[in-house]
Structure 1
Amino acid sequence: MSFVSRRFLRLCTGSSVFLRGVGIQDVWLRGHFVRSLTTSELLFKRRKTAEERKSPRIIEYSPKKTSNKPTVHGVVDIWRNITVKELADAVQRPLEDIQEVMLYVKDADDIDPSARLEDVKVIREIVTKCGMKSRIVAAPDKEIHEEKDRDVVPRPPAPPENLKPRPPVVTVMGHVDHGKTTLLDSLRGASVAAGEAGGITQHIGAFTVTLSSGETVTFLDTPGHAAFSAMRSRGANLTDIIVLVVAADDGVMAQTREVIKLAQDANVPVIVAINKVDKPEADVERAKKELMQMGLALEGHGGETQVVNISALKGTNLKELAEAIVTQATLMSLKSEYSGLVEGVVVESKNDKRRGKLSTAIVTRGTLRKGSILVSGQAWAKVRALFDHVGNPVDDATPGTPIEILGWRELPLAGDIILEVESEKKAHSVIRWRENAAQKEKAEKDQEAILKKEQEHLEKYIAAREARRLAGRFKMRPDGPRQKLYEDDPTPRVNLILKGDVHGSVEAILDVFDSYNEHDKCRLNIVHYGVGDITEGDLELARTFKAIIYAFSVNAPAKPPKHVTIREFNIIYRLIDDLKEEISKKLPSVEVEDVVGEANVLQQFFINEGRKEVPVAGCRCTKGLLKKSSNFRLLRNGEVLYDGPVESIRHLKNEVDSIKKDVECGIRLKDVKVVPQPGDTLLCYTTHMEPQVTNWDPGF
């Protein structure tokens, strides 16, 4: 059933009109065709006689045959994400009819034929207003075929004639506290190191520096902390040149070796900057020898790797370092295509309370402009604004340029590739395809885990069944194998929720959590993690799971609710130290031995006690003090023969409670079956309970 225009309804209301037939847009009036009511026009013949004026007018109308398809009566099959055109075909009505019906349905204002209707209630209401019933069915098979080739991939390499020079992307790497951020601070003339928590770079920073020669260079300041090995690895993949900072007083350290290996694996050229040469304890030649031992062929020693001695704090030889970077970039002849669809890499992403979801990216191909549609992983964006490294708005970003992008619907993951697509429709299609692929992959992994659990359960069940048969098939006691099979895991556990300022920081902390390997002593359960400030949902999760909320450089509620613990940190190793303390608190106390004294057995003799001969060890105390109230351990060639109390200790003929060093005595053990021999060793020790400390070593 279609609808009539408002003007027609007003005419009907004021003129006592009777309607016959089926209401539809195109009507016949006494044999005269009336145009479509969507034009808000209605033509009719007035009766001339008084009798006709007194009697009610009758308008007969019937459907205009606008389609060869028969009118549908009955049930219409619908499905989620059906397009408007598919709904019109299912109802067997013209597309214009469905679009006009949608004008009268709430939340159905998108009447584009290719638009997908996600809400089933809206679809049902449209069908109901068309005079039909509906039933929900699975999407037809053609939907599956339409999903083919909906993902996007980087474009093929550009022809040489389209390539133009671009700025080099330089990554500064090295061991913690070797002066990386201070070097960048000196290069760009801005104070950065003072603003970092604890003087340690907490996440990757990307910015552009114009050198004194006029050359433009994009720098990536990666963390030097051991916790961020994954972020350093991502920096190596983004970069054209690595500046390896080595402190002249420390030389090659653990993270320096990691950087050299990353550069060699990625085949990225390295420029060595030996820093802190102004210190009295600096030893440049030792640092060079250690670098050559790691496989770096240095200039002046038969290799091509440039080495520059600098002092980042005092600005010594920074011009020479800049010239080395420009020379290396010139030799590499870095070029890129400035036209076509944009490609790039996400460096960092974060939630800004005022501006929304932001990401820092490096453009690798094409020119990024406002209004572009971007896809990265399972996130997409319509670029609303672009900002340079100092926060100024810009209109476009060319290859090799770091840029901050505003307009993401979801936060992209650091390290993901950014690809531009033609339209929002294409972006939605790509996201759906990638989500389906991720769900399939997850389902396969879950299936493997399920099968593994089933196998473990089956093995335990078989073992329990065999135990029942041995004990008597029908004699199952409450403390039998079944109860042991299903009893709760008694292992202590620490539940936690992690919220960070940017995705890179959260990812780095999670990488540290992955190194935890003492799950048999205390389980580490990550209830939830995310980017942004602490929300009500986080507090509710913490209350439910009795979890600790770790807030890394984000805002926490001024008055947290009762029974919820919130810990705020802005330096990762302090967060990990606090977590190690929490794990240690959960561990049970352990019994610790304290050796009080030691004695050598010099002679073996027997004494009569009643009718029995009892062995006695003639000893001399060589260390500490021998106490009768303590425990004794008899050792022979490293093997423990006895561990327990003693019956008596005598000096000469007197019973004593203790023997000092270099004093001889006779010791009788509690167990008369153990016979001490000359050459044995007796250890006197006490025990006490001591809190246990976790052995987890995250690497810093």
Structure 2
Amino acid sequence: MTVQDVADVLKKDIDHVFKVLNFADKTGMTYTKDTVIHNPQVVRDIVKISGCRFKLVARPDAEMKDEENKDAVPAPPAAEEALRPRPPVVCVMGHVDHGKTTLLDALRDTAVVETEFGGITQHIGAFEVKLPSGGKVTFLDTPGHAAFTSMRSRGAHSTDIVVLVVAADDGVMEQTLESIRMAREANVPILVAINKIDKPGVNVVGLPGRSACCAGWPSTAWCASRRAARCRPCPCRRCAAGTSTRCSRPSPCRRSSCSSAPTPPDRSRASSLKHWWTLGPASRRRCWCGAGRCGAAARWWRARAGPRCALLHSPLVRKAQGGPSAGPQSQVRILRSAEGASIEEAPPSCPVVVLGWRELPAAGDLVLEVASEKRAAEVMRWRAAQRMKEKQQSDSEVIEAKMSEHQQRYRAMLSRKRAMGRYKLKPEGPREKMIKEDTHPALNVIVKGDVDGSVEAILDILDTYDDHERVRLDLVHFGVGQVTPNDLEIAEAFNAIIYAFNVECPPAVAADAKDLNISVRKHNVIYRLVDDVKQEITARIPVTQTEEVIGEANVLQEFMVSEGRRKVPVAGCRCVRGSLAKNALYKIIRGQETVFEGKLVSMKHLKEEVPTIKRDQECGLKFDDPEARVQPGDTVLCYRLRDVAPRTDWDPGF
């Protein structure tokens, strides 16, 4: 704004502004009425010296320019003539312990299930299977445990078809229905496989109809596409069932229309997939990808300390390519296949391990390819600026709410001062401490995991905690990788327990943790980690006391006995239940009201002091309060206080 603009706003003459400029601007610059004042501090000083308050706002006639969007976005779909076939992606889902990993072990001739902690899958696994026709199929193995909901959801949203494994002995379970719901939300067809049909007493005939009804489809929905199969002896040494159908590996390809031609059944390797059928509409998907060099999109499944395992959805990726994700950026330096071999490029639908990330991206992040590392840095700066704007917006809302609350308190205090005719109010009561000591029981935890998906699953479980009124559960830090000295510093500051899931604690860090008296709990099964957290919460719940009645007596008559120069009351009673103990606690109950609670100072039977009174014996009871009076018909309860260690009501869902 110019000098004349300042004078107009202040409603002063131009000479006044020139005089003030001699004090506000020390640079010695010569001003005219049309000189533009570029320094905002000079304008502030002019306003202050003039005795006014200032507020800088934009000019009403100023044009707001839209900020250029510098973000990287996925490429639009390619033209029909530019598409080419790609291998299908098949996601195997189902309830825990229904045999998903065992079936996949039969397909790839491995024994992954034997190496899994606790006998359950806790990570998403991806591998390729070659078909006799020369084609390939990418399989995703998802965890069936209730704790890994996010992993299953990512699997359902990044696949062409879902193979739903249902154990014949269990039928449709909770995670089975959840898998069906996720597949329907992702709009992918479902292929159902009945497993464990050789168990005694299993009824396979009615299971398809029951499964369809539980899934929300009519029982006839699966009949049109069901492929009948006859069982024969299984030569596969890994098949625990002992019987199997002919190998059904090509079936998912035909169901999803992802292979160029139907492939005949492969009899060279038997699997333990028993029956296949589809649920719901026979929706078919063409699995094509663009042949051009458009942006590469990937879904992140596993997050290790250095590499990242991705499932490619669009064009192939080669070494030296770079691209941002929702968080960090990377330049592809090393590509490895699912088997661990180094490769130069990765085609679509190929599970690969990518090395070269500066930071750890989160599972489920979308990754885009850009032209250069300079462009990737520009995208990351733009995204960081957008996140900062969102944070500033949320912070401003919080600040405005606090200012409004402060203004309300100030106006209320001001009205009280005016009503009392005082310039200063006297303090009401004692002064409050500026920092209040927190004495509420709390459990502070730090979570470290081997992969981002496992950490995410643990955090999702901790988010379900709802017993904060008794014990507060606070997550102070989490991350991927081994336990580090920085974790120990945080744990020492917050008195936290470190939970290491499937990661090691280096010997030097373990020694430091022992010296600092910091507990590092290592677990490799998620439900055991949750049980450990529940035990720590239970140990912090304050102990409560409950009354344990050990005897009951009826009052027959009240006696007044001499004790020195005064008379004191004594209750003549008969024990009608249990026994009475002199060192216990007592209550006098009259009707429905308790008129006394306290102890005894004397218990006599036939004028002799005794420690206990048995059932059907009469006695005289003198209470420690001389004002405690009894009446015939009153009930005297003898009880003890017993400490009870309560348990947490938290139900994590499994």
Q: Is TM more than 0.5 here?
A: yes
Matched, 1:322 2:271: no
Q: Mark the CA change 1:164 to 1:545 in structure 2 (over 3 Å): closer, same or farther.
A: same
CA-to-partner distance for each residue in 1:410-443, whole Å, 9 max, x for gaps? 2221111121122222211111111111222223
Equivalent in the alignment of 1:221: 141
The number of residues matched between the two structures is 541
Structure 1: distance between partners of 2:549 and 2:201: 43
Contact 1:522 1:583 in 2 (8 A): yes
Equivalent in the alignment of 1:201: 121
Partner secondary structure for residue 417 of structure 1: coil
Q: CA deviation at 1:643?
A: 7.1
Match of 2:374 among 422, 425, 443: 425
Partner AA of 2:368 in structure 1:
L
Q: Mark the CA change 1:302 to 1:240 in structure 2 (over 3 Å): closer, same or farther.
A: closer
Partner secondary structure for residue 365 of structure 1: coil
Equivalent in the alignment of 2:200: 280
Structure 2: distance between partners of 1:241 and 1:383: 29
Equivalent in the alignment of 1:264: 184
Partner secondary structure for residue 256 of structure 2: helix
Partner AA of 1:687 in structure 2:
L
**Residues 429-440 of structure 1 correspond to what in structure 2 (within 5 A)?**
429-440=378-389
Partner AA of 2:284 in structure 1:
M
Q: CA deviation at 1:334?
A: 2.1
Equivalent in the alignment of 2:336: 387
**Residues 561-600 of structure 1 correspond to what in structure 2 (within 5 A)?**
561=512, 562-563=515-516, 564-596=518-550
Partner AA of 1:347 in structure 2:
W
Matched, 1:487 2:436: yes
Q: Which deviates more from structure 2 when the two are superposed, residues 185-194 or residues 396-405?
A: 396-405
Match of 2:240 among 313, 330, 334: 313
Equivalent in the alignment of 1:552: 501
Structure 2: distance between partners of 1:466 and 1:649: 65
Q: Mark the CA change 1:628 to 1:277 in structure 2 (over 3 Å): closer, same or farther.
A: farther
Equivalent in the alignment of 1:407: 356
Q: CA deviation at 1:573?
A: 2.0
Structure 2: distance between partners of 1:288 and 1:605: 74
Structure 2: distance between partners of 1:265 and 1:665: 76
Partner secondary structure for residue 229 of structure 1: helix
Q: Which deviates more from structure 2 when the two are superposed, residues 408-417 or residues 438-447?
A: 438-447
Structure 1: distance between partners of 2:205 and 2:402: 58
Gaps of 5+ in 2: 1-26, 28-63, 258-282, 562-566
Match of 2:300 among 347, 355, 362: 347
Equivalent in the alignment of 2:273: none
Contact 1:186 1:315 in 2 (8 A): no
TM-score by length of 1: 0.66
Contact 1:346 1:412 in 2 (8 A): no
Contact 1:183 1:313 in 2 (8 A): no
Equivalent in the alignment of 2:161: 241
Structure 1: distance between partners of 2:205 and 2:85: 37
Max radius of gyration: which structure?
1
Q: Mark the CA change 1:657 to 1:545 in structure 2 (over 3 Å): closer, same or farther.
A: closer
Q: Mark the CA change 1:370 to 1:291 in structure 2 (over 3 Å): closer, same or farther.
A: same
Contact 1:167 1:334 in 2 (8 A): no
Partner secondary structure for residue 232 of structure 1: helix
CA-to-partner distance for each residue in 1:326-360, whole Å, 9 max, x for gaps? 331126242222323133232324345xxxx3221
Matched, 1:250 2:170: yes
Matched, 1:297 2:250: no
CA-to-partner distance for each residue in 1:243-272, whole Å, 9 max, x for gaps? 222222233333223222222333332222
Contact 1:222 1:232 in 2 (8 A): yes
Q: CA deviation at 1:151?
A: 0.8
Matched, 1:334 2:286: yes
Q: Mark the CA change 1:458 to 1:175 in structure 2 (over 3 Å): closer, same or farther.
A: farther
Gaps of 5+ in 1: 1-74, 76-143
Structure 2: distance between partners of 1:308 and 1:200: 30
Contact 2:95 2:144 in 1 (8 A): yes
Structure 1: distance between partners of 2:628 and 2:575: 17
Match of 1:153 among 52, 73, 79: 73
Q: CA deviation at 1:193?
A: 0.9
Partner AA of 1:373 in structure 2:
G
Of structures 1 and 2, the one scoring higher in RCO (CA 8 A, sep 6+) is 2
Structure 1: distance between partners of 2:190 and 2:620: 71
Partner AA of 1:332 in structure 2:
R
Q: Mark the CA change 1:268 to 1:288 in structure 2 (over 3 Å): closer, same or farther.
A: same
Q: CA deviation at 1:278?
A: 2.1
Q: CA deviation at 1:281?
A: 4.9
Structure 2: distance between partners of 1:640 and 1:539: 56
